[in-house]
Structure 1
Amino acid sequence: MISEALDYIRVEVRDYLSVTDAEVSTGHLHSLSSDALNPGVRIALVNVGQETTTRNAPHVVRNASGLTEYQEPPVYLNCHLMFAFDFSAYQTNMIRLSETIELFQSKRFFDASNERPANPFPSGLDRLVFDMCSPEFEQLNHIWGVLGGVYLPSILYKVRLLKIQSDETIAGPEVTSLHVQTGFKRK
């Protein structure tokens, strides 16, 4: 699912910026400084974490025939994406950076209801919600240091609610009655 989400986002950015397919790529940021022949926008996954507010989902589901099955609840991920701009002219970097911010300001979430015919929303995804992150200078320095790259004009977004779930289920017995034992004894 992460790969499908990145591909979808890459096409959205490419089309919004009106640049060629080769000018928007996904991958490591450290290779940008050594790749002067291919300028453009690089989208890199810099962190993945679990959305903790959605952890208490039920483990029991009913299938199409009404039988009970046990299935582990989905894991919802927050993915931090860095959009780094390395065009030949610094002014072009600033323009593309502004346009990318404009894209996610005008369209904070992506799902099947607002897909474009040229880029259909992946069927395995529910919704992608974009929140801009504003790390402090020290945090930004650490991020770029860990990524091994030379600092480039960039923006960091947290993409929320990327759903990962296995289709594996285990048949369970039908619950027909409950027996409650309180531990209290009558005298």
Structure 2
Amino acid sequence: MIFEALSFLSEEINEYFRNKLRIKEDKVVLSGIVDARGEIAIDGSNKIIVTLINIEKETTQTTVLGQHAANTAASPLQLNLYVMFSAYFNRGNYGESLRFISFILAYFQHKNVFNSQNSPGLDERIDKLIFELQVLSQDQLNNIWASLGAKYMPCVVYKVRMLNIDESIVREYRPEITTIENNSSLKS
């Protein structure tokens, strides 16, 4: 469900950028910031990188209607996600990176709740996503970037409330095959 929620979000913001800025290319990429070798994990530059930086259990869980307290083992796990939007732009493009961070802020100021009524592309297993801007201290921000193993980029962090997870909604993910390569070494 985490992948579905964040993939949906990336597509929504890409559509917002296409409409607002009249651009054709996708500017938003769902990815870690750096790979295992410590290098930037995406191809190209001039992108907004959407990265999951933390998951926490919702501590103010509500009881699902119709469930008895004795049956709490079957109740869904309610999670909050912490998502960072980082502006990875070429050297000399710092102003543009700030512009795109401003667009992210404006987007969530305008629309911070996603549900089936206002977002038809939202996975049917997701009831609602609520985005709250997180104000981080300089120390917290420094710790995040250090733990990611990357140099600081202009960024903003949002808390995404509440993703419900239970065993019945988690499915195996198989990526779609888009091309088939012809391997001539297999032919006799």
Is the CA contact 1:44–1:83 (under 8 Å) kept in the aligned structure 2? Answer: yes
Evaluate the alpha carbon distance shift between residue 20 and residue 4 of structure 1 in structure 2; reply closer, same or farther with a 3 A threshold. farther
Task: Find out whether 1:105 has 2:105 as its counterpart.
Answer: no
The two structures have a TM-score, normalised by structure 1, of 0.75
Matched, 1:41 2:48: yes
3-state secondary structure, aligned to 1:52: coil
Q: Is the alpha carbon distance of 1:58 and 1:112 closer, same or farther for their aligned partners in structure 2, counting shifts above 3 Å?
A: closer
Q: How many pairs were matched up?
A: 158
CA contact (8 A) 1:50 1:78 kept: yes
How much has 1:53 moved relative to structure 2?
0.7
* Alignment match, 1:135: 136
2:12 is equivalent to residue 5 of structure 1: no
Match of 1:72 among 66, 74, 94: 74
Q: Where is the strand percentage greater, Structure 1 or Structure 2?
A: 1
Q: 1:144 to 1:165 in 2, by over 3 A?
A: same
User: When the two structures are superposed, what TM-score results if normalisation uses the length of structure 2?
Assistant: 0.75
Unaligned 5+ runs, structure 2: 170-188
Give me the CA root mean square deviation.
2.5
Higher Rg:
1
In 2, are the aligned partners of 1:80 and 1:156 still within 8 Å (CA)?
yes
Q: CA deviation at 1:38?
A: 3.4
Q: 1:163: which partner in 2?
A: 164
Tell me, in whole angstroms, the C-alpha distance in 1 between the residues paired with 2:94 and 2:40: 14
CA offset digits 1:83-133 (Å, max 9, x no partner): 0001231111111100100111111110101015xxx11111000000000
Separation in structure 1 between the aligned mates of residue 42 and residue 165 of structure 2, nearest angstrom: 33
CA contact (8 A) 1:58 1:73 kept: no
- Residues 130 and 157 in structure 1, CA contact (< 8 A), matched pair in contact too: yes
Give the match's secondary structure for 2:54: strand
Q: CA deviation at 1:28?
A: 1.1
Counterpart in the other structure of 2:183: none
Cα distance 1:5–1:35, how it changes in 2: closer, same or farther (>3 A)? closer
1:60 Cα deviation after fit: 3.7
Letter paired with 2:140: Q
Q: Give the 3 Å change call, closer, same or farther, for CA 10–34 of structure 1 in structure 2.
A: closer
